[in-house]
Amino acid sequence: MSVVEVTDASFDGFVGAKYAVVDCWAPWCGPCRRMTPIIEKLAEISAGEISVGKLNVDENPKTSRKYNISSIPTILVFKDGKLEGQMVGLSPTLTAEGIKDKVLEL
């Protein structure tokens, strides 16, 4: 399962899944590039369980404003369409497996 490109228009529908994770990023952001392999791996290991997407904050300002995003990368976590968690920035302990476990515990 690959990472889905989410936009302002498709956002609400996308996060309406049982579990959804959206990586908010921008092309000029170095730390965002480092997040990419983790998000790709998350999509791979949680196929069928978690919908995994990425949102370009530059092209989709409406969603960024709605969720008060002011630092990227930010990962938004949803359960049944409701925002349940927000992770900002990189951390040395961040892994795809760790995110998956946390989300499925919700």
Partner 1 sequence: MINADVLIIGAGPAGLQAAIHAARKKVSVVLVGKPENSALAGAHIENYLGVPGKADGSEILRIGTGQAEGFGCRMLKENVTSAARKDGGFEIVTETDEAVRAKAVILATGISRVKLGVPGEKELFGRGVSYCAACDGNFYKGKVVAIIGGETEAAASAELMTAYASKVYWVAKDIAASENMVRKASAAGAELVRAAAKAIKGDDRVNSLELDNGTVLELDGVFIELGAKSSADLAMDLDVMPEMDDTIKVDASCFTGIEGVYACGDVTGKPWQMAKAVGQGAVAGTAAAEWVRANVGK
Q: Does 31 bind partner 1 (CB under 8 A)?
A: yes
- What is the four-CA torsion angle of 25, 22, 100, 20, rounded to 10 degrees? 180
Among 6, 52, 57, 76, binds partner 1 (CB under 8 A): 57
User: 95 to each of 17, 35, 38, how far by Cα in Å?
Assistant: 22, 9, 6
Q: Is 68 near partner 1 (CB under 8 A)?
A: yes
Amino acid at 80: D
Size of the residue set binding partner 1 (CB under 8 A): 26
Question: Out of 32, 55, 96, 99, which residue is the one contacting partner 1 (CB under 8 A)?
Answer: 32
C-alpha 5: how far from chain center: 10
Q: How far is the CB of 62 from partner 1 (least distance, A)?
A: 14
> Is 24 designated active site?
no
Q: If DSSP codes are grouped into helix, strand and coil, which group holds residue 95?
A: coil
- Spatial separation of the C-alpha atoms in residues 6 and 66, rounded to whole Å: 15
User: Which tokens belong to 45?
Assistant: 């290991």
CB of residue 30 to partner 1, shortest distance in Å: 5
Q: Which stretch binds partner 1 (CB under 8 A): 10-18, 28-36, 43-51, 76-84?
A: 28-36
What are the catalytic residues?
29, 32
